[in-house]
């Protein structure tokens, strides 16, 4: 339910962007859907990289106790 | 008379009076202090400087200007909200420490000279550590000691820097310390030391880990106080002393980026907030590094709103800790049924920090982002965009999701106490009001500003896209099972070096010294034994020189001697 409304909101935002002309400061910024893609990919990459980092850095909670 | 009282002093003096109150009235007393002090600041303090001559040094213990006033206001507001939140606390030490901490932080932002700044700087360190000790656990005691060593270390660097700087320029004035070119390479050794001291307190990359180590160990209310003052005092000090320092842009970008990866894997939600705090400081540091009026306004505005929403997030996690006894994501979930108000306030804080349009984070971060665009710092812009998605991940979604939603932990508890809800409610209201009506905030910023964050609707639209699509990615990761499950673990950071590596080295060195000493003492024993054997051989009871001689042979020899001398006499 929440997931579906989130998808709906995302689609709505992209449609608004296509209709509504927005100002861009950098050329690549003006590509339609740039920010949408950027947000999705960034978070995805952060979580996947974080997970990899965790493999090396995670320790048991009692690690510093002994 | 009233006008001559320096800001902060009312709270500092009042802190010593708190123990005189009956225990049940101390919390209320601690709440009254910042209220009175704020009234004094608003109604009786005009922009001014107070100069004094101490031991031949010309000092300026008080300087009230626009930059110090913004920090003065928000420090007071934060103190009032945190004291309201701490109304249930019945520990004299905590109230006194908190008020000394607040008073000295306020005094520090109004300090016009470096020596006064140093004195307040040290008082903030010494008082705030009691908010960590007050947890009264072994681990909080140890974390507190580590915190104290690093904070006092920063103070020592600051003092050394100040003295060298004073030798160089002959002035104690705390103004812009960096040259007009903003190049640290040309700065003197004294300025470098001061920069480093500020950098430690501001949690620069690699100097940052005291923050994530200590804050999660503080008491429920202590962490709310801590989140507001120490690091923002450092932001103020950087904005005052190092505006436009190029190096700060790079430092700031790294600061916004690296904590987000740690925040993804961290299990302790107050530690996640500490990493998030670190990331937010990065945005401010970038603004200070750019150094234009717009950017500095952005950094200061960000500090202002950040103190509110970060305080709110720490309050909500504190309420969870207070009611359930844990803030480990692996133990929590589904709390929205038991604590609906706390959950709602937490979501307001989460949306503010993620910079949703119409929330306070947006109106402040827009200034910094506009300044980045204005200066055409492309890579900085790209870095900050990634960091924005990162903020959404750890503070926008992870904190509320794992505490209040997610899988149901089965924990059923009471809603947070009324005074906590009140403190969170007022803070949440401020976050929303600033988002809707940013102009009063803009009016108190250090430089004149004509900025309308909602004038360019495209900006709000793209920000919403960025955030909602990031949320979508989170949902997809969760549904596909790619999101790392929360487990009861800790994460290594630079604290590993001084909590594990250095102790290991020290242990190895002491073991080595012990072995060497044992070896040496064995060799010494052998040498001693051989000398003793030699001595015994010659002087011992059986030795040559200790042999007993018969009396008869003695008499014989004497007779021979006498006889021979008689013969010689006659010859």
Given an 8 Å threshold on Cβ–Cβ distance, is A9 in contact with B468? yes
Task: Give contacts of A37 with chain B, Cβ < 8 Å.
Answer: 469
**How far is residue B144's CA from residue B454's CA, in Å, rounded to a whole number?**
44
- Separation of CA B373 from chain center: 30
B419 to chain A, any CB pair closer than 8 A? The answer is no
CB B196 within 8 A of CB B160: no
B211-225, B311-325, B537-551: least confidently modelled range: B537-551
- Separation of CA B230 from chain center: 6
**DSSP character at residue A27:** G
**DSSP character at residue B434:** H
> How far from A29 is each of B352, B465, B551, CA to CA, in Å?
24, 13, 120
**DSSP character at residue B499:** I
Write down the pLDDT at residue B210.
96
Q: Does residue B302 surpass a pLDDT of 90?
A: yes
**Highest-pLDDT range among A10-19, B53-62, B151-160, B547-556:** B151-160
Question: Helix B222-241 to helix B114-133 angle, to the nearest 10 degrees?
Answer: 160
Give me the half-sphere count of Cα atoms (radius 13 Å) on the Cβ side of residue B485. 6
Q: Does residue B284 surpass a pLDDT of 60?
A: yes
Q: Does residue B128 surpass a pLDDT of 50?
A: yes
Q: Which residue of B has its CA nearest to A38?
A: B466
CB B215 within 8 A of CB B227: yes
Query: Which residue is it, tokens 């270390």?
Result: B153
Q: Does residue B546 surpass a pLDDT of 80?
A: no
B48-54 and A58-60 beta bridge pairing: unpaired
CB B227 within 8 A of CB B177: no
For residue B387, give how far its alpha carbon lies from the nearest alpha carbon of chain A (Å): 9
**How far is residue B120's CA from residue B463's CA, in Å, rounded to a whole number?**
40
**How far is residue A29's CA from residue A41's CA, in Å, rounded to a whole number?**
15
Among B400, B416, B406, B401, smallest CA distance to B323 is for B416
**How far is residue B389's CA from residue B395's CA, in Å, rounded to a whole number?**
10
Task: Give contacts of B330 with chain A, Cβ < 8 Å.
Answer: none
- Identify the three-state secondary structure at position B377: coil
Listing DSSP states for B330-351 in one string gives: GG---GGGT-HHHHHHHHHHHH
To the nearest whole number, what is the mean pLDDT of chain B? Answer: 93
**How far is residue B517's CA from residue B524's CA, in Å, rounded to a whole number?**
10
B392 to chain A, any CB pair closer than 8 A? The answer is yes
To the nearest whole number, what is the mean pLDDT of chain A? Answer: 87
Query: Which residue is it, tokens 């905030």?
Result: B441
- Mean pLDDT score, B313-334: 95
Write down the pLDDT at residue B285.
97
Write down the pLDDT at residue A65.
79
* Residue of A39, A48, A54, A66 to mutate, testing the B interface (most B Cβ within 10 Å of its Cβ): A39
Write down the pLDDT at residue B543.
74
- Separation of CA B107 from chain center: 18
Task: Give contacts of B461 with chain A, Cβ < 8 Å.
Answer: 13, 16-17, 20, 22
**B residues 346-375 lying closer than 8 A (beta carbon) to A:** 373
Confidence class for position A66, pLDDT limits 50, 70, 90? low
Query: Which residue is it, tokens 């509320």?
Result: B400
A30-39, B305-314, B419-428: least confidently modelled range: A30-39
Q: Does residue B3 surpass a pLDDT of 70?
A: no
- Among A21, A35, A44, whose Cβ lies nearest the Cβ of B477? A44
B464 to chain A, any CB pair closer than 8 A? The answer is yes
Q: Does residue B59 surpass a pLDDT of 90?
A: no
Q: Per residue in B389-430, pLDDT tens?
A: 999 999 999 999 999 998 898 889 999 999 999 999 999 999
Given an 8 Å threshold on Cβ–Cβ distance, is A60 in contact with B469? no
Q: Per residue in B256-271, pLDDT tens?
A: 999 999 999 999 999 9
A vs B: CB pairs below 8 A: 148
B471 to chain A, any CB pair closer than 8 A? The answer is yes
**How far is residue B31's CA from residue B25's CA, in Å, rounded to a whole number?**
10
**How far is residue B465's CA from residue B454's CA, in Å, rounded to a whole number?**
15
- Mean pLDDT score, A22-36: 83
**How far is residue B41's CA from residue B416's CA, in Å, rounded to a whole number?**
32
Given an 8 Å threshold on Cβ–Cβ distance, is B472 in contact with A13? no
Among B302, B130, B144, B142, smallest CA distance to B232 is for B302
Q: Does residue B361 surpass a pLDDT of 50?
A: yes
The phi, psi pair for B490, rounded to 5°, reads -115, 165
Note the pTM of the prediction, 2 decimals.
0.90
* Residue of B386, B462, B485 to mutate, testing the A interface (most A Cβ within 10 Å of its Cβ): B462
Q: Which residue of B has its CA nearest to A31?
A: B462
CB B314 within 8 A of CB B223: yes
% of residues, chain B, pLDDT over 90: 82
Q: Does residue B55 surpass a pLDDT of 80?
A: no
For residue B326, give how far its alpha carbon lies from the nearest alpha carbon of chain A (Å): 14
A26 or A57, higher pLDDT: A57
- Identify the three-state secondary structure at position B141: helix
Q: Does residue A3 surpass a pLDDT of 90?
A: no
Given an 8 Å threshold on Cβ–Cβ distance, is A57 in contact with B465? no
Question: Is B180 exposed, middle or buried (CB count within 10 Å of its CB: 0-12, 13-18, 19+)?
Answer: exposed
Element containing residue B486 per DSSP (H, E): none
- Among B458, B464, B471, whose Cβ lies nearest the Cβ of A23? B458
- Identify the three-state secondary structure at position B480: coil
Q: Per residue in B428-466, pLDDT tens?
A: 999 999 999 999 999 999 999 999 999 888 889 999 999
B163 to chain A, any CB pair closer than 8 A? The answer is no
Radius of gyration (C-alpha) of chain B in whole angstroms? 33
CA dihedral B78, B83, B88, B93 (to 10 degrees): 120
**B residues 252-291 lying closer than 8 A (beta carbon) to A:** 260-265
Write down the pLDDT at residue B1.
39
> How far from B77 is each of B30, B52, B84, B144, B344, CA to CA, in Å?
13, 29, 11, 26, 21
- Mean pLDDT score, B284-304: 97
% of residues, chain B, pLDDT over 70: 99
Q: Per residue in B29-53, pLDDT tens?
A: 999 999 999 999 998 777 777 777 7
Q: Does residue B57 surpass a pLDDT of 50?
A: yes
């Amino acid at each position: 339910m929440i997931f579906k409304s989130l998808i709906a909101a995302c689609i709505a935002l992209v449609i608004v962007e296509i209709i509504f002309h927005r100002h861009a400061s950098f050329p690549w910024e003006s590509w339609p859907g740039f920010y949408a893609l950027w947000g999705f990919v960034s978070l995805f990459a952060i979580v996947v990289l974080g997970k990899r980092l965790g493999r090396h850095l995670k320790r048991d909670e009692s690690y510093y106790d002994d | 008379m009233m006008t001559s009282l320096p800001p902060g002093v009312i709270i500092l003096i009042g802190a010593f009076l708190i123990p005189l109150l009956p225990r049940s009235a101390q919390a209320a007393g601690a709440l009254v202090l910042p209220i009175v002090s704020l009234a004094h600041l608003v109604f009786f303090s005009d922009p001014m400087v107070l100069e004094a001559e101490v031991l031949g040094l010309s000092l300026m213990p008080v300087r009230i200007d626009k930059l110090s006033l913004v920090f003065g206001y928000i420090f007071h507001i934060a103190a009032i909200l945190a004291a309201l939140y701490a109304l249930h606390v019945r520990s004299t030490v905590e109230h006194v420490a908190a008020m000394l901490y607040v008073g000295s932080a306020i005094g520090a932002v109004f300090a016009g000279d470096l020596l006064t700044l140093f004195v307040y700087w040290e008082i903030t360190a010494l008082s705030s550590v009691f908010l960590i000790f007050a947890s009264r656990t072994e681990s909080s005691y140890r974390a507190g000691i580590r915190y104290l060593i690093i904070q006092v270390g920063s103070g020592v660097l600051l003092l050394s820097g100040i003295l060298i700087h004073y030798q160089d320029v002959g002035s104690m004035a705390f103004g812009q310390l960096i040259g007009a070119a903003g190049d640290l390479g040309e700065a003197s050794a004294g300025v470098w030391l001061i920069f480093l001291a500020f950098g430690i307190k501001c949690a620069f990359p690699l100097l940052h880990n005291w923050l994530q180590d200590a804050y999660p160990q503080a008491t429920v209310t202590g962490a709310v106080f801590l989140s507001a003052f120490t690091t923002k005092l450092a932001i103020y000090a950087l904005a005052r002393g190092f505006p436009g320092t190029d190096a700060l842009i790079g430092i700031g970008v790294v600061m916004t980026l690296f904590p987000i990866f740690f925040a993804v894997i961290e299990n302790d939600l107050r530690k996640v907030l500490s990493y998030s705090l670190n990331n937010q400081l990065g945005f401010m540091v970038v603004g200070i590094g750019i150094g234009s009026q717009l950017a500095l306004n952005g950094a200061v505005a960000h500090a202002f709103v950040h103190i509110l929403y970060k305080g709110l997030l720490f309050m909500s996690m504190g309420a969870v800790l207070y009611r359930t006894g844990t803030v480990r994501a692996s133990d929590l979930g589904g709390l929205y049924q038991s604590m609906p108000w706390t959950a709602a306030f937490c979501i307001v804080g989460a949306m503010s920090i993620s910079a949703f349009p119409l929330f306070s984070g947006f109106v402040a971060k827009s200034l910094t982002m506009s300044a980045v665009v204005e200066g055409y710092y492309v890579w900085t812009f790209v870095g900050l965009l990634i960091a924005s998605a990162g903020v959404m991940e750890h503070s926008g979604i992870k904190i509320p999701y794992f505490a209040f939603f997610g899988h149901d932990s089965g924990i059923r508890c009471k809603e947070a106490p009324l005074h906590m809800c009140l403190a969170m409610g007022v803070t949440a209201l401020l976050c929303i009001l600033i988002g809707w009506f940013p102009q009063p905030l803009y009016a108190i910023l250090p430089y004149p500003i004509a900025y309308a964050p909602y004038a360019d609707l495209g900006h709000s639209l793209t920000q919403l896209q960025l955030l909602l699509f990031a949320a979508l990615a989170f949902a997809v990761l969760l549904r596909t099972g790619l999101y790392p499950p929360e487990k009861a673990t800790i994460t290594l950071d630079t604290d590993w070096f001084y909590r594990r590596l250095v102790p290991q080295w020290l242990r190895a060195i002491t073991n080595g010294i012990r072995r060497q000493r044992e070896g040496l003492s064995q060799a010494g024993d052998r040498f001693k034994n051989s000398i003793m054997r030699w001595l015994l051989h010659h002087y011992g009871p059986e030795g040559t020189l200790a042999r007993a001689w018969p009396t008869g042979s003695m008499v014989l020899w004497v007779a021979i001697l006498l006889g021979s001398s008689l013969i010689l006499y006659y010859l």
